[in-house]
A and B are shown apart, each in its own frame.
Chain A
């Protein structure tokens, strides 16, 4: 194929919202130019300011979650002295002290771990549920699709926070493992259970878009099984949109966790959590606004990091969106 032909094909594919694979360089032996979707996307990302801000912030918070002591400036978050209660930020204690007189910066820093664990674990469960249910619904169609899509509709009509709120409130009284733990696992599972529908719809529509293409028919003619066709030939098409969705959703779920914890059904004291810190700080919002301010800022930056990366990824992977 000539460059022009390949460019036309790419254009057609983009317009149709699908990828046939014909326009990718692996098929194109005559050209030595490498411009697959991914190398194209990377070239775009390298120049994206949003992406770099998001990536650096994400890296920062991941390091903070793994080695919080690096950021605590030598302070022990559990070493408290009531004499320092609500003390304002100073040169030695950048975030001041909380109500109990604990160094606030170390407390906020130690909160990163729970937030990231819950965000990432919840998104993994969302992915598993979304990909499996979406692929089955899209691939088999008919009654299977009808039933699975209606179930997704039902969950979709319930607001995420509301569903998770009810489950986490009732959870500790049950004997279902993890859900009754009041820990990060319960919060993550509750969020995933009421948050998998968008991933399912995304995968389902991608599967429907490509399942009737010729190369799938070719694979079937060669005797490939349903599972092989799905995993090897169809699902790879959904990687790009799912990646964008996943990145943004980690941020959204981290915000949701903080909200649930703030509302009293998420993580419980004495866990380190930004939601708990905001909740404890709101009573002294007039006398010590820094108690609400600092965990809020760090929480916002974490959410922003993932949303910025996801936004940049979407622009990079979807040329139609570019200016």
Chain B
């Protein structure tokens, strides 16, 4: 196990380097004037061009530039944006919003998804099963963008239950965006649980438990659920990593100042350093949670051994 984790940790490095280099290359190296790109549509004076060229080593080949960036990264320096603010400060300001949003989304995903999935799986082809099947198909098909507007229109404007933008209302303001962000994964969790429960209910050990005369509730909760939840728990774990990096649309529509909206604003204004910094962080979250989940899998399911 220890060796497996060490090997996986080592494998994180090339993927992290590769992904950040890819973004770095797109932001700084595509043909065209990188300083003009950095300045976006604003006019820029020759003196500034000179200083920036010097600071970002823009006369050097791309790999030298990237090496300089990496050296800074290792000493905890993510560089500064166009106005001279450290990228690290920007991340510290915006990351808590995204973490809160992710927590709310994961909560919805786990609770609603699991309940719907278990109810559907217990009685296959029953009314609830078909309801879950149809509603998950519909939910998966609605683009997040559309879902966000529907939620704003319905729960925000028509019913007035939830605030539709900003973080002024504390956790309450995260309910609607959290639900929207969770929707796709929620449907997936429901389906995964349904399949898993239905499959396990037909397993031999469940038949044995029934034959022993155990009450139905005990068979379902103690025997079936515990085993059925393994793939679900691991999916939810991996999803934390995706949600932390995938909230661009939700944060933009609901006006939440998290890293998703920050990276979007930075892409639009071509703040290269901010984009590369935040994207590298997102990729790290994604890989890290995937690793955690793989290890968790072995802990939860003793049949899986990596060594």
Contact = CB atoms under 8 A, between A and B. Distances in A.
Given A158-B279, A175-B31, A304-B138, A299 B22 contact: no
A176 B146 contact: no
B145 A258 contact: yes
Given A162-B279, A285-B153, A307 B140 contact: yes
12 contacts: A159-B242, A162-B279, A163-B23, A170-B270, A171-B30, A176-B30, A278-B146, A282-B149, A289-B153, A289-B157, A300-B141, A303-B142
Contacts of B26: 166-167, 170
A170 B27 contact: yes
In the A-B complex, the 3 residue pairs with the closest CB atoms: A304-B141, A154-B18, A255-B143
- Summarize B's interface: helix, strand, loop or mixed: helix
B275 A154 contact: no
A150 B143 contact: no
Interface stretch (A124-132, A207-215, A259-267): A259-267
A150 B15 contact: yes
B234 to A, nearest CB: 17
Interface of B: 14-16, 18-19, 22-23, 26-27, 30-33, 36-37, 124-125, 137-138, 140-146, 149-150, 152-153, 157, 195, 198, 242, 245-246, 248-249, 252, 263-264, 267-268, 270, 275, 279, 282-283, 286-287
A162 B282 contact: yes
Contact of B146 (A166, A264, A289, A296): A296
A169 B140 contact: no
Given A304-B141, A308-B137, A323-B198, 17 more contacts: A50-B137, A154-B14, A154-B22, A157-B19, A158-B19, A162-B246, A162-B282, A163-B23, A170-B32, A171-B30, A176-B31, A258-B145, A265-B267, A278-B145, A304-B138, A304-B142, A308-B141
A47 to B, nearest CB: 14
Contacts of B153: 285, 289, 292-293
Contacts of B30: 170-171, 173-174, 176
B245 A300 contact: no
A42 to B, nearest CB: 21
A181 to B, nearest CB: 15
A216 B137 CA distance: 39
A117 interface: no
A155 B275 CA distance: 16
Contacts of B287: 157
A251 interface: yes
A153 B14 CA distance: 10
A28 interface: no
Contact of A158 (B142, B150, B248, B283): B283
Given A154-B15, A158-B19, A259-B144, A296 B150 contact: yes
A157 B286 contact: yes
Contacts of A321: 195
Contacts of B246: 159, 161-162
B144 to A, nearest CB: 7
Contacts of A286: 157
Most buried by A among B23, B36, B146, B195: B146
Contact of A166 (B32, B141, B245, B275): B275
- Summarize A's interface: helix, strand, loop or mixed: helix
Interface in A268-304: 275, 278, 282, 285-286, 289, 292-293, 296, 299-300, 303-304
Contacts of B242: 159
Contacts of A105: none
B248 A174 contact: no
A251 B267 contact: no
A151 interface: yes
Contact of A323 (B37, B125, B145): B125
A145 interface: no
B237 to A, nearest CB: 16
A169 B270 contact: yes
Given A158-B279, A286-B157, A304 B252 contact: no
A307 to B, nearest CB: 5
A165 interface: yes
B267 A165 contact: yes
Interface string A6-47: 000000000000000000000000000000000000000000
B146 A300 contact: yes
A248 B30 CA distance: 32
A246 to B, nearest CB: 17
Nearest to A254: B143
A321 B198 CA distance: 11
Contacts of A166: 23, 26-27, 267, 275, 279
Nearest to B270: A169
A166 B267 CA distance: 6
Given A162-B245, A304-B138, A259 B152 contact: no
Contacts of A304: 137-138, 141-142
B26 to A, nearest CB: 5
A162 B19 CA distance: 12
Nearest to B156: A285
Contact of B149 (A161, A296, A307): A296
Contact of B263 (A162, A170, A251): A162
Given A251-B141, A263-B248, A323-B125, A158 B22 contact: yes
B152 A300 contact: no
B158 to A, nearest CB: 9
